[in-house]
Amino acid sequence: MNIVLTGASSGVGFEAALEFTLQTENKVVCIARSADKLRKLLEIAKGINPDCTLLPVEFDIVNDDYNALVPFLEQRLGTVDILINNAGTLINKSIAETSAADLNEMFQSNVTGHFNMIKNLLPLMHSGSHIVNIGSMGGFQGSVKFPGLAAYSASKGALHTLTECLAFELAETGIKVNCLALGSAQTEMLEKAFPGYQSPVMAFEMGKYIADFARTGHKFFNGKIIPVAVTTP
């Protein structure tokens, strides 16, 4: 399979990338802004499976030029079977401390960047391709909410709605779009949101779940926001 994964330099994205590289036939393009972390990912992946194909790409999904990225993907992959939109960031501030710039940063990182990826990679996708957006229980309607995360949760709620709309719009193409609303997993982002909290779910466990869902979830779901949470946080 040909897989494109954003936010691959740390956390569940890093672990999902490693899971995909266990199968030698997969070609995995790993996108992140940190070249150093991508090099570490490649080193670990090659250590586990020397025959794997992992292509690290230093790229900012909000600001960089897709006219360079798309031809590279077309040349190296041809088509895209799976797109996992995992990149994102988090601001933990009270509403009184949150600025308009903070809110804009959340929406740029957690919504606009994914919109950019989907729009630009659609020509490389086909019937049976699967787009997986990584959302959050923070943006899941009816879930417990927490102080300091209003801007982050609002951006994830927007990503959830984007998922539902795109699944409907793309239905005739055979491209499926789903969103995993993640609860806690032990990552740097969790520590930023809930300092000192220890999740019962490790990053590698959530990464494996994401990879497994990306491979098979489109056979059972389309346009769904699926909560993946043992605990919230």
SS3 readout for 147-216: CCCHHHHHHHHHHHHHHHHHHHHCHHHCCEEEEEEECCCECHHHHHHCCCCCCCCEHHHHHHHHHHHHHH
Active site residue 66: no
* Catalytic residue (choose from 66, 152, 197, 209): 152
Separation in Å, CA 177 to CA 73, 97, 203: 20, 35, 23
Distance separating alpha carbons of residues 142 and 20, to the nearest angstrom:
33
Q: Catalytic amino acids?
A: 152
